[in-house]
């Protein structure tokens, strides 16, 4: 495959292969892709109706929060606690100030990719 190693070898390690390639962990890649999709929903660039799922925050502190903060969901079941919007809204609201100005533009994902948010 990518490195040309034989998977059935007794000294094969997927972890070492990913480290050699410099790939991010799957958790990190998924979180960035969730934020990218949420960004597109936020800007109404998808077929997902924004007004049905994203609501403005009740209160936005100028000192702590950013202007694009949205209302977080409350959940009562474990099934809903792992849903896309519940996971992503809290990450969205914690975006660093270096990324927030790019929310309305196409430079959002490149800034997110280069940030140390998930390190």
pLDDT tens readout for residues 9-48:
777 777 888 888 888 888 999 999 999 999 999 999 999 9
Separation between Cα atoms, residue 13 and residue 5, nearest integer Å: 10
Q: Name the helix (H) or strand (E) containing 18.
A: helix 14-21
Separation between Cα atoms, residue 21 and residue 58, nearest integer Å: 44
pLDDT at res. 101: 81
pLDDT in tens, 49-85: 999 999 999 988 888 888 899 999 988 888 888 899 9
Residues in the chain: 119
pTM: 0.80
Beta strands in 70-119 (DSSP E): none
Read off the pLDDT band of 89 (50, 70, 90): very high
CA dihedral 11, 13, 19, 20 (to 10 degrees): 40
Separation between Cα atoms, residue 14 and residue 30, nearest integer Å: 19
């Amino acid at each position: 495959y990518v490195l040309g190693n034989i998977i059935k070898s007794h000294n094969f390690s997927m972890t070492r292969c990913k480290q050699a390639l410099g790939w991010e962990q799957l958790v990190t890649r998924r979180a960035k892709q969730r934020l990218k999709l949420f960004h597109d929903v936020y800007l109404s660039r998808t077929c997902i109706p924004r007004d049905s799922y994203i609501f403005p925050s009740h209160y936005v502190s100028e000192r702590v929060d950013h202007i694009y903060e949205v209302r977080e969901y409350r959940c009562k079941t474990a099934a809903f606690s792992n849903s896309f919007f519940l996971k992503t809204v809290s990450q969205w609201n914690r975006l660093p100030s270096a990324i927030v100005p790019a929310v309305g533009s196409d430079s959002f994902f490149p800034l997110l990719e280069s940030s140390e948010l998930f390190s």
